[in-house]
Amino acid sequence: MNTHCLPPAFSNLGVVITAAGNGTRYGSKENKIFDSLHGIPIIVHTLRFFQPISSNIVITARKQDINQIIELLDTHQINARVVVGGNTRLASVQNGLRLIKHLPGALVHDAARPNPTHPVIERVLRAAIHHDCVIPAILMTDTIKQVNQNDYVVCTLQRSTLRAIQTPQYFSSQLVNDIINENPDLEITDESMIVEKLKKPVFIVDGANENIKLTVSSDLAVLTNLIQPDKSEKKDSG
């Protein structure tokens, strides 16, 4: 990524990497962020994308993972702070954002997305010049149906109006404080839901199909093909 093309304000941007989840769908005893991709842990691949754009990286982690993360930061010479996560995703992100709330804005990114791609990050940051909240998204290609609790179809949703949301997501300093002040017990799957709740605009830019979140074990094979060994540059169709 050509950081020289980014606005000067983003030279002082905060980044929160969310790594405090349980990853129950992945089916591994160890946190999936420690799984190896070409001999390098998933979380290290993720962090390397954000090193060039921020010296204010905070990782939210489970208490039992903190020592292992600190060891990885030392081994791979990555400058980042680690904070214990909370009981919910929102509580974890709030813990991270509190450490960088004095900065002009923040990116929040899933540790389990090791291939956000440089073009996606650039699109998010360029849109952030004009918008307080920016999130990347991709078009839906499958037919999506809403079902009831008995597994009967209720209706078919209009695919053209639907998007699959990714990270990193950008929030201005004002929105960072809004997120921090929200009820930490609120169940969310991404932080832009807080902005929606506040009835403030959320702007979408193109994500990338390659920006996969490691969710189930088969995702690891896909990411192994996308991320080249011993190279910082990753594939991106965007």
pLDDT of the residue at 1 = 60
What pLDDT score was predicted for residue 39? Answer: 93
pTM of the model: 0.91
For residue 187, what pLDDT is reported?
Answer: 93
Count of CA atoms in the C-beta half-sphere (13 A) of 226: 23
What class is the 9-226 domain? alpha beta
Beta strands in the chain (DSSP E): 14-19, 36-37, 40-41, 56-61, 81-84, 105-110, 133-139, 145-147, 153-156, 163-165, 169-172, 203-206
- Euclidean distance between the first and the last CA atom of the chain, given in angstroms as a whole number: 13
pLDDT of residue 230: 63
Q: What angle is formed at CA 17 by the lines to CA 190 and CA 32, rounded to 5 degrees? A: 90
pLDDT tens figures, 13-47: 999 999 987 666 666 678 899 999 999 999 999 99
Assign 9 a pLDDT band (cuts: 50, 70, 90).
low
Chain centre to alpha carbon of residue 79:
18
pLDDT tens digit sequence for 44-99? 999 999 999 899 999 999 999 999 999 999 999 999 999 999 999 999 999 999 99
**pLDDT reading at 10 higher than 80:** no
Could you report the per-residue pLDDT of 178-235, keeping only the tens digit for each?
Answer: 999 999 999 999 999 999 999 999 999 999 999 999 988 899 999 999 998 864 444 4
Average pLDDT over residues 134-159: 96
The full set of domain ranges for the chain reads: 9-226
Rounded to an integer, the average pLDDT of 5-11 is: 64
Residues in CB range of 30: below 8 A, 6 or more apart: none
